[in-house]
């Protein structure tokens, strides 16, 4: 199975400051169609996950533009340009290129 | 708007069975692949199974293959997960999730339900 490794696992941030989460895969996530199926999800406490980013860098409808995704191959990043209080919670990367689909361990974002 | 509502969770003894359901609305159900994803208490997300839009292709994670069966009824817009020979390590919140494509080739989960808890304990 493809192993997804996130860092850091805990990320204390100051309101209004930027934040960055790294996600690395044990194999290239480029699919045979040329796309890279790397998604980012946000899960608030007690809620179900919500997709923020699909195919590395595409924001889902309604996702604030302070969220951005980048990367290629095996190395990916989620950035929040200015953290707001509603951004706390767990962030997961997920690869959908190889079966079975696998998630990173999760990164907990909290306000300092 | 897309809605996915899971039901059927509960407390069950090891070795017993349980069937989860997921009622879908707000989209053309028979056009999309569907998945089950679970989250053990205090743990991360684990993908469990997929079924293609037409119900033909199914794939499972190794830990449930042979014990769990995913199915769908496109006439009822409902996804199912039949869980047999349950183990303590199957204890988790089970989410159904919609794929943004057919379910045959790759995974891209765009909508999730609220989840239904399953506890396997004697």
Contacts of A103 in chain B (CB under 8 A): 44-47
Q: What is the mean pLDDT of residues A73-101?
A: 97
Is any Cβ of chain A less than 8 angstroms from the Cβ of B100? yes
Q: How confident is the model at residue A27 (pLDDT cuts 50, 70, 90)?
A: very high
Is any Cβ of chain A less than 8 angstroms from the Cβ of B2? no
Q: What is the pLDDT of residue B14?
A: 98
Q: What is the pLDDT of residue B53?
A: 97
Percent of chain A at pLDDT exceeding 90: 100
DSSP A60: P
Distances (CA, A) of B61 to A4, A40, A100, B106: 16, 21, 6, 14
Residue of A32, A33, A47 whose CA lies nearest to A92 = A47
Contacts of A60 in chain B (CB under 8 A): 110
Contacts of A104 in chain B (CB under 8 A): 44
- Look at residue A40 and tell me whether its pLDDT is greater than 90: yes
Nearest CA to CA, how far is A25 from chain B (Å)? 15
Hey, which residues 33-72 in chain B have their CB within 8 Å of chain A? 35, 44-47, 50, 59-62
pLDDT tens sequence for chain B (122 residues): 999 999 999 999 999 999 999 999 999 999 999 999 999 999 999 999 999 999 999 999 999 999 999 999 999 999 999 999 999 999 999 999 999 998 889 999 999 999 999 999 99
Q: What is the pLDDT of residue B71?
A: 98
Q: What is the pLDDT of residue B74?
A: 98
Q: Which residues are A78's β-sheet partners?
A: A21, A69
Is any Cβ of chain B less than 8 angstroms from the Cβ of A39? yes
Report d(CA B44, CA B103) in Å as an integer. Answer: 23
Question: What are the backbone angles phi and psi of residue A39, rounded to the nearest 5°?
Answer: -115, 155
Per residue in B65-79, pLDDT (tens digit) is 999 999 999 999 999
Is any Cβ of chain B less than 8 angstroms from the Cβ of A2? no
Distances (CA, A) of B91 to A82, B9, B13, B66: 37, 10, 11, 17
| B47 closest CB neighbour out of A47, A101, A105 | A101
Suggest the residue from B45, B51, B65, B94 to mutate for an interface test with chain A (most A CBs closer than 10 A).
B45
**Inter-chain touch B106–A96, beta carbons under 8 Å:** yes
Q: What is the pLDDT of residue B103?
A: 84
A97 Cα distance to chain centroid:
15
Residue of B101, B122, B116 whose CA lies nearest to B48 = B116
């Amino acid at each position: 199975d493809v192993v997804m490794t996130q860092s850091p696992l805990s990320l204390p941030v100051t309101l209004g400051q930027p934040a960055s989460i790294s996600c690395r895969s044990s194999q290239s996530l480029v699919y045979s169609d040329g796309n890279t199926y790397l998604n980012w999800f946000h899960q608030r406490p007690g809620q179900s996950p919500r997709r923020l980013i699909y195919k590395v860098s595409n924001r889902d409808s309604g996702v604030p533009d302070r969220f951005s995704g980048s990367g290629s191959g095996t190395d990916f990043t989620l950035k929040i340009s200015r953290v707001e209080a509603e951004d706390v919670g767990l962030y997961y990367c997920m690869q959908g290129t190889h079966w079975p689909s696998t998630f990173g361990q999760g990164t907990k974002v909290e306000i300092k | 708007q897309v809605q996915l509502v899971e039901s059927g969770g509960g407390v069950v003894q090891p070795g017993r069975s349980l069937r989860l359901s997921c009622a879908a609305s707000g989209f053309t159900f028979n056009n999309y692949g569907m998945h089950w994803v679970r989250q053990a208490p205090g743990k991360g997300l684990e993908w469990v199974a997929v079924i293609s839009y037409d119900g033909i292709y199914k794939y499972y994670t190794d830990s449930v293959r042979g014990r769990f069966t995913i199915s769908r009824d496109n006439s009822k817009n409902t996804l199912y997960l039949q869980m047999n020979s349950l183990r303590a390590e199957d204890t988790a919140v089970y989410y159904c999730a919609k794929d943004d494509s057919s379910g045959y080739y790759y995974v891209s989960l765009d909508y999730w339900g609220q989840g239904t808890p399953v506890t396997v304990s004697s």
